[in-house]
Structure 1
Amino acid sequence: MADGTKFLLLFLLLNSLTLCFCTKQDIRCLKSMQQSVIDPKSVLKSSWNFENETDCFICRFTGVECWFTYENMVLSLLLGNLGLQGAFHQGLHDCASMIGLDLLNNNFSGPIPPDFSRQVPYLTSLDLSYNRFSGSIPQNISIMTYLNLLNLQHNQLNGQIPP
């Protein structure tokens, strides 16, 4: 085979490879989040389209920040002020690389799951303020060693923040 043909075949092969590294766990996390919340303004329903699996598609979803633009790995969920409702989402463990969660000023209610800190152990920022969460602040929130920002104000939580 001529050198020019080899080069062209190599170029076409490399050009057809995707540079987007997709994480099925993160996609599963977002799908379950979308299904578990009540979204009266249809923000997630309209912008979180799982049918169009183009490269790095979840990085273009409203409120989703990815680690890099060429991969589907959730860095943060910034879902504040969207009017979302429902209980605290239980499927966050699939967003294994997530370090930020902002649910500020929505209508979430009910308890914060006691195993929450095990679901997302690497969070550095957690803002659950201005919702209707109730019950006790989970004791094992104190084992979240990377947590730098914790905002729980204006909820119906009781007890102290664990030391």
Structure 2
Amino acid sequence: MAILKSSCNFDNTTDGFVCRFTGVECWNFDDENKVSALRLSSLGLEGQFPRGLEYCTSLDVLDLSNNNFAGPIPSNITRQVTYLTSLDLSYNSFSGEIPVGIGNMALYALYIQHNQLSGQIPREFHGLLRLTSLNVADNRLSGLIPLFLSKFPASNFAGNKGLCGPPLDDWQLIN
């Protein structure tokens, strides 16, 4: 946490000062700095899913992995981070169900492994047409894996005792 505190000087009011904070990446558009990525992995952050992300209107990448976040992933996550292409919430203690709205995002990568998520993988994930990386391993998920996700390796679904269906069926017999 000291790394994050040492980089956040809110007394500085120069244009783009936030872009010098640890884990904040920006791009410049029309002489205006826009936050494009928050890479806040392994900073000892804790609490619930951060509020106020809707003000980062150009946010493309959100990485909160390897921290101590807990509680549900907000059901309105798609309104908070509308334009994400990469979402990494892995290795935290998020709980509850996976919000169905995630299926409406334009994600290329979704990492939510090693949490305490429960329920089924939403059928709405069929809307994730650009998805090239997915990992939901080691949660408390149950039900049938949607067929359109069977292209991902079985190991990316492992550790969910209630999950079944391809690609897990043969893999579970071997392991």
State the TM-score, normalizing by the size of structure 1: 0.70
Residue 114 (structure 2) aligns with: 154
Aligned: 1:52 with 2:12: yes
Residue 147 (structure 2) aligns with: none
Aligned: 1:101 with 2:66: no
Residue 22 (structure 2) aligns with: 62
Structure 1 stretches (4+) deviating beyond 3 angstroms?
68-71
Structure with the greater relative contact order (CA < 8 A, sep ≥ 6): 1 or 2? Answer: 1
- Aligned pairs, number: 122
Identical counterparts, % of pairs: 61
Instruction: Say which structure is richer in helix.
Output: 1
Residue 41 (structure 2) aligns with: 80
For residues 60-80 of structure 1, the C-alpha deviation after alignment (integer angstroms, 9 at most, x for no partner) is 110000023964310000000
Distance, in Å, in 1 between the alignment partners of 2:116 and 2:51 is: 20
User: Mind listing any 5+ residue stretches in structure 2 that lack a counterpart?
Assistant: 126-175
Corresponding letter in the other structure for 2:85: T
Segment of structure 1 superposing worse, 124-133 or 48-57: 48-57
Q: Tell me how large the CA RMSD over aligned residues is.
A: 1.5
User: Mind listing any 5+ residue stretches in structure 1 that lack a counterpart?
Assistant: 1-40
Distance, in Å, in 1 between the alignment partners of 2:42 and 2:109 is: 18
Which of the pair has more CA radius of gyration?
1
Segment of structure 1 superposing worse, 63-72 or 101-110: 63-72
Counterpart secondary structure, 1:59: helix
State the TM-score, normalizing by the size of structure 2: 0.66
